[in-house]
Amino acid sequence: MSACSSAASRGTSWPGLTADANNAYLAEGQYIYAARLSDGSKLWQYPDKAGSQQFFAAPLLTPDGQLIVGSAGTDQGLYSLDPATGKEKWSMPFTGAKDRWIAAPLVINDTIYAPNNDGSLYALKLATGELLWSLSIGHPLWGAPVTDGKLIFLTSLDHFLYAIDPQSQKIIWKVDLGGSAAGSPALSADETTLYVGSFSSKFFAINAANGSIRWTANTNAWIWSDPSINDTNVYFADIDGQVYALDASSGQNSWPNTTPDGPITGSPLLTTDGAIVATESGSVYSLDHNGKVTWSTAIGGKIYTSPVASGNLVLVAPLGAQYLLYAVNEKDGSMLPWHFDGK
Amino acid sequence: MFSDPWGFFILNPFTNVLLLIYNLIGHNFGLAVILFTILIRAITWPLTGQQLKGAKVMQDLQTDKEWLDIQKKYAKDREKLASEQMRIYKERGINPFASCLPTLIQFPIIIGLYQAVTRALAATPLTLLQLARSIYPIMNAAAIIPLNSHFLWMDLGRPEGIPFPAGFSLSFLPYGFPTLAIIVAVTTYLQTKLTLPPSTNPNDQTASMNSMMTIYMPLFLGWLVLNYASGLAIYFVASNVLGIVQYAMMGRVNWRNLLPGGSEPAPSNVKKNK
């Protein structure tokens, strides 16, 4: 029985990754790491020694210079760190939730909106982490919320997409997605349409004002990846590895045969040349505007985390590879000489 | 299939049967775990019977006069002792491995059951992705997920604990008072104690090991339950209670073991009952 207890490990998942112009912030296992992108050196790690924390959610850089990250460990804490030093900024982390933090939070003005695995959305003071209010929604919340500045849009594993008014702290509308949604919705540039996929193997375009469905598109498999949007198309992938480029107004797929080499859970990273996706097979693919592969780079391990851009670099955080973080050039996929190993 | 035979033959079928039960009984995961444990126990019933029968034969042999005589006579000649033991096995038609083989067959089944419960709870994105892949297409995974993990007072996806009064906390019990861990430890103790065969030899090393197991196994499982999803604890409790019931139905429960001194070894000069 002891042999299989490790299989029942309560906390393993893929890393969360965020970057600014100079540094990457990696939520990986029991630590948050900050890595300098010029040479891959470690700036800091939090905590100094492994404790009860476990980090999956992508850390959030806030406009006032905080790095907010939730723990999926037994501490159930939401932490504010100084991105420069890794020191805690609040006097104490917020530990008022009943469960773990798997989703990244959202900041609007001076308030943090953080969805928790206990099914509640918590509103906290950005400056101190003090609880303002919480709204119980139901099932676990794994997707980061998005906002149009007025409403907060949030997916749930309970199959619904919710629109929440933070002023009244009420649900304004909700729409059934036919299956759990573990990713985030994307909001169109004009803030009128939400795009979101679910485990029902359907992709939805939804009127942000009232929750009515504008169109749906069928996919081959569950959709985990968050959509990415440009002026004309919405891009996402399914866990069978098909990449989709749907016309944002009609839902017509212009990439019917774009299937790199494995399942995709991360969001496509849009570039001027097309889109970059990372696969479970451990490779990164650059696709042109027609969905054709322009370059691919084998990283190793399994990649579930969305690739993240920093300048001309594409950062990749695989699971089970030799290193924790890799950087490739956006134009040709050539790998930078440094790899970050967390040491 | 061949890249993951364990998943193909054991884990995936077990997970799907568990989810099928969950679906049939109206989305109650706690009850599904209990019914699934009963099902597995029923399927392995003949194996348990064989195991007990084999163990009984070997146990009886420990009090056999001829067996005791050769132990004494060839105590310093291990080779001769082994050949004499083999002779007795042959003469009496005893297979010394008769109690081991059913255990070996059951072991992967028990591990599979345990892993199926863990997988179905899918507490993290990675485990949910693994679950998605192991659900058969006929099961309509999109409708089943997320599983309703609430059972009685527990969320089966996380460790159980009844919250302490406001202002009181213990760092080593972050989830509160561990009711389920205590129930698991007690039922494990009872099962181990009640199903131990009575020792007939005060120098019997197996008896000594069994005695250690009676103490350490409940503590180990109790510790596991403190830290892991309470759905596993439901499985442990159901498995322990069913184990006691099963042994009782086969007439193999030693109630005397619960009494002080009840598991003391029997005198070594016990005469063989033929």
Which residues from B are below 8 Å from A10, CB to CB?
Answer: 123, 159, 227-229
Q: Please indicate whether, in this complex, the C-beta atoms of A182 and B128 are within 8 angstroms of each other.
A: yes
Question: From CA A28, how far away is CA A328, in angstroms rounded?
Answer: 20
Q: Where are the alpha helices (DSSP H) in B77-134?
A: 78-92, 100-121, 125-134
Q: Is B114 on the interface with A (CB under 8 A)?
A: yes
Grade residue B261 by pLDDT with cuts at 50, 70 and 90.
low
Q: What is the dihedral of CA B125, B128, B130, B135, to 10 degrees?
A: -160
Please name every residue paired with A286 in a beta bridge, in sequence order, or none if there are none.
A276, A295
Q: Is B124 on the interface with A (CB under 8 A)?
A: yes
Question: From CA B40, how far away is CA A273, in angstroms rounded?
Answer: 56
Q: CB neighbours (10 Å) of residue A113?
A: 21
Residue-wise pLDDT for B12-68, tens only, equals 999 999 999 999 999 999 999 999 989 988 888 887 777 777 777 877 787 888 888
Evaluate if residue B195 carries a pLDDT over 80.
no
Q: Is B163 on the interface with A (CB under 8 A)?
A: no
What is the mean predicted confidence (pLDDT) over A236-256?
A: 96
**Three-class SS state of B1:** coil
Residue B243 is encoded by which pair of tokens?
């184990």
The one-letter code for the residue type at B47 is L
Q: Is B137 on the interface with A (CB under 8 A)?
A: no
Stretch 50-79 of chain B: residues touching chain A, C-beta under 8 Å: none
Q: Pick the residue with more confidence: B197 or B187?
A: B187
DSSP A181: -
What are the φ/ψ torsions at residue B13 (nearest 5 degrees)? Answer: -60, -45
Q: Please indicate whether, in this complex, the C-beta atoms of A99 and B115 are within 8 angstroms of each other.
A: no
pLDDT of B201 reads 59
CA atoms within 13 A on the CB side of A275: 26
Residue-wise pLDDT for A34-53, tens only, equals 999 999 999 999 999 998 89
What is the mean predicted confidence (pLDDT) over A97-101?
A: 91
DSSP B25: T
pLDDT of B111 reads 84
pLDDT of A322 reads 94
Question: From CA A4, how far away is CA B220, in angstroms rounded?
Answer: 13
pLDDT of B263 reads 55
Instruction: Share the mean pLDDT of chain B.
Output: 82
Q: Please indicate whether, in this complex, the C-beta atoms of B126 and A198 are within 8 angstroms of each other.
A: no
Grade residue A236 by pLDDT with cuts at 50, 70 and 90.
very high
Least confident of A76-80, B204-208, B224-228: B204-208
What is the mean predicted confidence (pLDDT) over B165-169?
A: 80
CA distance to partner chain B, nearest, from residue A11 (Å): 7
Evaluate if residue B6 carries a pLDDT over 50.
yes
Residue pair B185/B192 in contact by the 8 Å Cβ criterion: no
Beta carbons within 8 Å of B163's beta carbon, 6+ residues apart = B176, B177
Q: Is B138 on the interface with A (CB under 8 A)?
A: no
pLDDT of B99 reads 66
Question: From CA B226, how far away is CA B228, in angstroms rounded?
Answer: 6
Q: Could you tell me the residue ranges of all domains in chain B?
A: 1-148, 152-274
Which residues from B are below 8 Å from A224, CB to CB?
Answer: 125, 129
Least confident of A3-17, A146-160, A266-280, B9-23: A3-17
CA distance to partner chain A, nearest, from residue B54 (Å): 23
Least confident of A72-86, B80-94, B142-156, B162-176: B162-176
- pTM flag (> 0.90): no
What is the mean predicted confidence (pLDDT) over B207-234?
A: 82
Evaluate if residue A102 carries a pLDDT over 90.
yes
Evaluate if residue A3 carries a pLDDT over 60.
no
pLDDT of A44 reads 98
Instruction: Share the mean pLDDT of chain A.
Output: 94
Q: CB neighbours (10 Å) of residue A240?
A: 14
Which residues from B are below 8 Å from A3, CB to CB?
Answer: 111
Evaluate if residue B271 carries a pLDDT over 70.
no
pLDDT of A2 reads 35
Question: From CA A150, how far away is CA A167, in angstroms rounded?
Answer: 8
Which residues from A are below 8 Å from B118, CB to CB?
Answer: 7-8
Least confident of B31-45, B49-63, B142-156, B183-197: B49-63
Element (H, E) at B187: helix B179-195
In a mutational test of the A interface, the residue from B3, B106, B110, B128 whose CB has the highest number of chain A CBs within 10 Å is B128
Q: Is B143 on the interface with A (CB under 8 A)?
A: yes
Q: Which residue has the tokens 């099928």?
A: B20
- Range among A4-8, A288-292, B158-162, B210-214 with highest mean pLDDT value: A288-292
Using CB atoms, pick whichever of B124, B129, B155 lies closest to residue A265. B129
Residue-wise pLDDT for A275-334, tens only, equals 999 999 999 999 999 999 999 999 999 999 999 999 999 999 999 999 999 999 999 999
Q: Please indicate whether, in this complex, the C-beta atoms of B174 and A52 are within 8 angstroms of each other.
A: yes
Length of chain A: 343
Q: Is B216 on the interface with A (CB under 8 A)?
A: no
User: Can you point out the beta strands (E) in A238-311?
Assistant: 243-247, 269-271, 274-278, 283-287, 293-298, 308-310
Least confident of A66-70, A147-151, A279-283, B116-120: B116-120
Evaluate if residue B270 carries a pLDDT over 70.
no
What is the mean predicted confidence (pLDDT) over A124-132?
A: 97
Question: From CA A320, how far away is CA A322, in angstroms rounded?
Answer: 7
Question: From CA A143, how far away is CA B142, in angstroms rounded?
Answer: 17
Residue A54 is encoded by which pair of tokens?
């476990």
Q: Pick the residue with more confidence: B258 or B30?
A: B30
Evaluate if residue B202 carries a pLDDT over 60.
no
Give, in order, the Cα–Cα distances in Å from A180 to each of A76, A160, A222, B109: 23, 7, 9, 31
In a mutational test of the A interface, the residue from B14, B27, B158 whose CB has the highest number of chain A CBs within 10 Å is B158
Evaluate if residue B272 carries a pLDDT over 60.
no
Q: Which has the closest alpha carbon to B191: B224, B223, B213?
A: B213
Which residues from B are below 8 Å from A11, CB to CB?
Answer: 123-124
Residue pair B176/B162 in contact by the 8 Å Cβ criterion: yes
Using CB atoms, pick whichever of A13, A74, A178 lies closest to residue B126. A13
Terminal CA-CA length for chain B: 52
Chain A interface residues (partner B, CB cutoff 8 A): 1-5, 7-8, 10-14, 52, 56, 72, 74-75, 99-100, 102, 139-140, 142, 157-158, 178-180, 182, 198-201, 222, 224, 239, 265, 304, 319
Q: Which residue has the tokens 């049967």?
A: B17
What is the mean predicted confidence (pLDDT) over B104-111?
A: 77
Question: From CA B29, how far away is CA B27, in angstroms rounded?
Answer: 6
Q: Does the model's ipTM exceed the 0.85 cut? A: yes
Evaluate if residue B170 carries a pLDDT over 70.
yes
Instruction: Bin B54: left if φ > 0, else alpha if -120 < ψ < 50, else beta.
Output: alpha
pLDDT of B1 reads 57
pLDDT of A35 reads 97
Residue-wise pLDDT for A165-222, tens only, equals 999 999 999 999 999 999 999 999 999 999 999 999 999 999 999 999 999 999 999 9
Q: Is B141 on the interface with A (CB under 8 A)?
A: yes
DSSP A335: B
DSSP A183: S
